[in-house]
Amino acid sequence: MKIEQPRIIENLFKSNHFLQSIEDDSYLEHRIFSHININNINIPSFHLNCVYFKNVHFENCTFENIDMIDVIFENCEFTNVIFSDGSLHRTLFNNCRAMGIQLVDNVIKNIQMLNCNARYSNMSGSKIQQTIFENCNLENSSHIHCNYKNTIFSNCNLNESEFYNTNLNTLNFSSCSIDGIGITQDLLKGVTMNSLQALEMAKLLGIIVKD
């Protein structure tokens, strides 16, 4: 599946003051933020375009109605961070610590989450398409009332994650670990699993399997 990559220009303007930059202009573009802490921020309705965050620690931040396009988060850490009711497009999360990150009620398209620790993350209520989760720890994550389209989970830990009231049609969990996954039985049709997963799912559905 083809994913549109973030379009990051060369010679981004380096800044060390994220809050001041947003207060100066809610349409923030062509910036790089590196090796800084962004703490205790609650900002509604702002736009990020062609912005690169590298080795940035976000803590106690709420970003509502955010509009993000062509953004990279590399080696970043998220602690008690909420992105809600926004739009995320052509955005990359690479090698990030994102335990408990909230990505709720968003429109998400052309997103890549690679080699991330996103245990306890919450993506509930989001419309997610053209997206790849690869080599990620998504244990105990929530995907309730999500709308998935053209989404790939590859070599991810989805143990104890919740997909209640989410249509699993076309999703492929065959390379993932899904022990204890929570699903809505009526929305299971069309999901792809490996033989061992299918056997465990049959038991979950009350099916008695005999050799």
14, HSE (Cβ side, Cα atoms, 13 Å)? 5
Helices (H), the chain: 18-24, 195-204
Average pLDDT score over the chain? 94
Min mean pLDDT across 13-27, 102-116, 119-133, 162-176 is at 13-27
Alpha-carbon distances, residue 143 vs 14, 29, 146, 150, 167 (angstroms): 36, 30, 6, 15, 10
Of all residues in the chain, what percent carry a pLDDT higher than 90? 83
Q: Is the pLDDT of residue 211 over 90?
A: no
**In the chain, what are the domain boundaries?**
13-204
Q: Is the pLDDT of residue 202 over 90?
A: no
- The whole-model pTM stands at 0.94
Of all residues in the chain, what percent carry a pLDDT higher than 70? 97
Decide yes or no: CATH 2.60.120.620 for domain 13-204: no
CB 110 within 8 A of CB 89: yes
pLDDT digits (tens, 9 = 90+) for 161-199: 999 999 999 999 999 999 999 999 889 889 999 988 988
Q: What is the DSSP letter of 202?
A: H
Alpha-carbon distances, residue 183 vs 64, 187, 209 (angstroms): 28, 8, 20
Radius of gyration of the chain (CA): 18
pLDDT digits (tens, 9 = 90+) for 64-105: 999 999 999 999 999 999 999 999 999 999 999 999 999 999
